[in-house]
Structure 1
Amino acid sequence: MRVFVAGGAGVLGQRLVPQLVARGHQVVATTTNPAKLGLLERLGAEGVVMDGLKADSVGEAVATARPDVVVHQMTAIAPRPDMKHPDRWFATTNRLRTEGTDHLLAAAEATGVAHVVAQSYASWNGIREGGWVKTEEEPLDPGPRSAPEGARAIRHVEDAVGSAGGAVLRYGWLYGPGATEALVAPVRKRQFPLVGGGTGHTSWVHLDDAASATVLAVEQRATGVFNIVDDEPAPVSEWLPYLAERAGAKPPMRVPTWLARLLAGEWVVTMMTEGRGFSNAKAKRELGWVLRYPSWRHGFREELA
C-alpha cells in the first residue's frame, strides 16, 4: 500500500514511518524543513517538502505521491510552553487541525484517495461530568475559557474526517523518544507542581504504541473514532510523583488551586483537578491493538532507566 504521511518528520511520524516500512508499505512522508529530507530517507520513506497550510502545496504533494491512504500527523507546537495562554502556544497546530485538515481532505478527494487517518487528542479532555474515564461515545470537553480555539480545532478534525469516512485516532499524552525529555525537564527543575489534590485524570500512550495503532487503522481501513491510550488512566497525584521519582527528581511541590489559577491559568488547573481520562477498549476490540506499554508506569520506568 502507498501511504502518504503528512508530518512524517515529527516525533510520532518518526516512529510511524519505520513501522509502516517494516510491514511492506511504500511511504511518502512530508516535512516543512528541507534539512529533514535525509532523515525521512533514512527512515525508509520518500521525503517531500510540503506546507500544510497552503492548499496548492498540499494538493501537489498528494497528487504526485498517488497514495492509497493519507495519514494526517501535522502539528507545530511551539518549543517554549505558554501554559497560561494555550491557544497562543498551539496556534499553528490549531490551524493545521482546521485549515491543514481541509487541504488534505480536498487533495485526497481530488486524487481519488479513499481513506484518511487523522490525529486527534484524548488525554485529560473528556467531558467534565460523571465518571473519570470516558469512551468514544461520550463527548470531549468544550475546554476551559483559556483554550476555546484548541477544543474547536480538535472538533473540526473529528467532524471533517468522520464525514469523509475516515478514522480519527485520539492519542493520549505522548511520551517516548523525542517527547519524554520535554516533559521531564520541568519536573527535574520542580517547575511542574501538583495542583490542589491532583484529582484530575490523565491518559498516556507511548509513541511506539500510538504508531502501531495507526498502522492497524491504515491497514484495516478503519472508520470512526478510537481512543489510543494505555490501560491505566490515572490521577495526577499518582503519575506526577512517580514520574519525578523515575527521573531522579525531588517530589513535586504542591500549589493550592487558587494560586495555580493566578500563576499558571485555568487550563492547568482544569487539567490537574478536573481532567477526565479515556478507555481504550474499542481500539483493542475492533483494531486488535496490543500495547507494548500497557501502563505509563512501565513506559516511564523504561524510558528513564
Structure 2
Amino acid sequence: MRVFIAGGTGVVGRRLVPQLVARGHQVTATTTSPDKLNLLERLGADGVVMDGLDAMSVRRAVAGARPDTIVHQMTAISVAHAGKADLKHMDRWFAPTVRLRTEGMDNLLAAAEAAGVPHIVAQSYANWNGIRKGGWVKTEDDPLDPMEGTAAQEGMAAVRYVDDMTVKAGGAALRFGGLYGPGATDDQVELIRKRQFPLVGGGTGYSSWVHLDDAASATVLAVEQQSTGVFNIVDDEPAPASEWLPYLALCAGAKPPMRFPKWLARMLAGEVAVLMMTEGRGFSNAKAKRELGWELRYPSWREGFKADLT
C-alpha cells in the first residue's frame, strides 16, 4: 500500500514510518524543512518538503505520491514546547497547531479529493479532555469537553473539527492520549526535575497516556484496515494526577512534586491547568482494542514511564 504521511518528522511520524516500512508499505513522508529529508530517507520513506498551510503545496505533494491512504500527523506541538508550556495562554501557545488541525485538514482533504485518494487517518486528542460530567473515564460515545470560556476553547474546537471532518470523509480519527516516549515528554520531565510541575489541589483530575510506539502501531492498523470512525488511542490505565505525576517524578529521579492550592495554580498557570489537574476525564481504549485488534507494547504508563526514563 502507498501511504502518505503529512508530518513525517514529528515524534509520532518518526516511529510510524519505520513500522509501515517494516510491514511492506511504500511511504512518502513530509517535512517543512529540507534539512530533514535525510532523516526521512534513513527511516525508509521518500521525503518531500510540504507546507501544510499552503493548499497548492499540499496538492502537489499528494498528487506526486499517488497514495492509497493519507495520514494527517501535522502539528506544531514540538515548536510550541520548545518555547515552554504556557497553559495560561493556551490560545496563543497552540494557535499554530489549531491552524494545522483546521486549515491543514481542509488542504489534505481537498488534495485527497483531487487525487482520488479514498482514505484518510488523522491524529486527534484524548488525554484529559473528556466531558467533565459523570464518571472519570469516557468512551467514544461521550462528548469531548468544549472548555468554553477558557484558553483551551479554540484548541478543543479544532480537535472536534478533525474528528468531524475525518469521519465525514470516511476515514479514522485516532484520539491519542498524552504522548510519551523519545522526545515527547522532555519538557515535562525537565519541569518535574526542577520541581516546577506541581500537583494542583488533590490531583483528582484524570489523564490517559499512550507511548509513541503504541500510537504508531494503532495508526498502522487503521491504515491497513481502512478503518472508519473515531477511536481513543490510550493505554489501559487512565489515572488521576495524584498517581501518575509522583510516579513520573520517581522515574525521572526527581523529588516528589510540590502541591499548590487551586487558587495559587489558577493565578500562576491559569484555569486550564487547574481544570486539567482537578477535573480532567480520561478515556477507555476498549473500542480500539476490539475493532482494530490493537495490542499495546506498554499497557500502562507505569511500565512505559519506567522503560523510557530508567
TM range (shorter): over 0.9
Name the structure 1 match of 2:160: 155
CA distance in 2, matches of 1:182, 1:113: 37
Aligned residue in 2 for 1:178: 183
Task: Output aligned runs, 1:60-75, within 5 Å.
Answer: 60-75=60-75
Distance 2:208 2:98 in 1: 21
Matched, 1:3 2:3: yes
Query: Is the partner of 1:168 in helix, strand or coil?
Result: strand
Whole-Å separation in 2 of the counterparts to 1:296 and 1:46: 33
Take 1:180 and 1:300, find their aligned partners in 2: how far apart are those partners? Answer: 10
Q: Equivalences for 1:27-176 in 2 at 5 Å? A: 27-77=27-77, 78=80, 79-80=82-83, 81-144=85-148, 145-176=150-181
Quote how far apart the aligned CAs of 1:180 are. 2.8
After TM superposition, the score normalised by the length of structure 2 is: 0.98
**Other structure's SS at 2:175 match:** strand
Shift of 1:83: 1.6
Deviations 1:197-253 (A, max 9, x none): 000000000000000000000000000000000000000000000011111101100
Rounded to whole Å, the distance in 1 between the matches of 2:280 and 2:270 is 15
Please list the CA deviations of residues 264-296 of structure 1 after superposition, one character each: whole Å capped at 9, or x if unmatched.
000100100000000000000000000000000
CA contact (8 A) 2:8 2:30 kept: yes
Q: Secondary structure at the match of 1:17?
A: helix
2:200 pairs with one of 187, 195, 202: 195
Which residues of 2 match residues 136-285 of structure 1 at below 5 A?
136-144=140-148, 145-285=150-290
**TM-score normalized with structure 1 length:** 0.99
Q: Distance in 2 between matches of 1:259 and 1:23?
A: 50
Separation (CA, whole Å) in 1 of partners of 2:152 and 2:235: 25
Using the TM superposition, give the Cα deviation of residue 146 of structure 1 relative to its aligned residue in structure 2, in angstroms.
Answer: 1.7
Cα distance in 1 between the residues matched to 2:117 and 2:308: 37
- Fraction of identical pairs, as percent: 76
| RMSD across aligned positions (CA) | 0.6
C-alpha distance in structure 2 between counterparts of 1:180 and 1:151, whole Å: 21
Cα distance, 1:24 vs. partner? Answer: 0.1
Cα distance in structure 1, aligned partners of 2:178 and 2:33: 25
- Give 3-state SS (helix, strand or coil) of 1:120's partner: strand
In structure 1, stretches of 5+ residues that fail to align are none
3-state secondary structure, aligned to 1:119? strand
Letter in 2 for 1:76: A
Paired with 1:209 and 1:64, the residues of 2 have a C-alpha distance of 29
- Structure 2 alignment gaps of length 5 or more: none
The AA in structure 2 aligned to 1:113 is V
User: Matched residues in 1 for 2:258 and 2:123: separation?
Assistant: 33
What SS is found at the alignment partner of 1:85? helix
Amino acid at match of 2:270: G
Matches within 5 A, 1:6-25: 6-25=6-25
Q: Which residue of 2 aligns with 1:299?
A: 304
| Aligned equivalents of 1:200, 1:56: Cα separation in 2 | 43
Per-residue deviation, 1:82: 1.2
Preserved contact between residue 188 and residue 197 of structure 2 (Cα < 8 Å): no
- How much has 1:147 moved relative to structure 2? 1.5
- Counterpart-to-counterpart distance in 1, 2:69 and 2:151: 35
| Structure 1: distance between partners of 2:100 and 2:263 | 34
Matches of 1:288 and 1:209 in 2, distance apart?
Answer: 12
Name the CA distance, whole Å, in 2 between partners of 1:239 and 1:52.
Answer: 35
- Structure 1 stretch displaced more, 49-58 or 181-190: 181-190
Residues of 1 paired with 2:152 and 2:76: CA distance?
17
Aligned length: 305
Q: Deviation above 6 Å: which 4+ runs of structure 1?
A: none
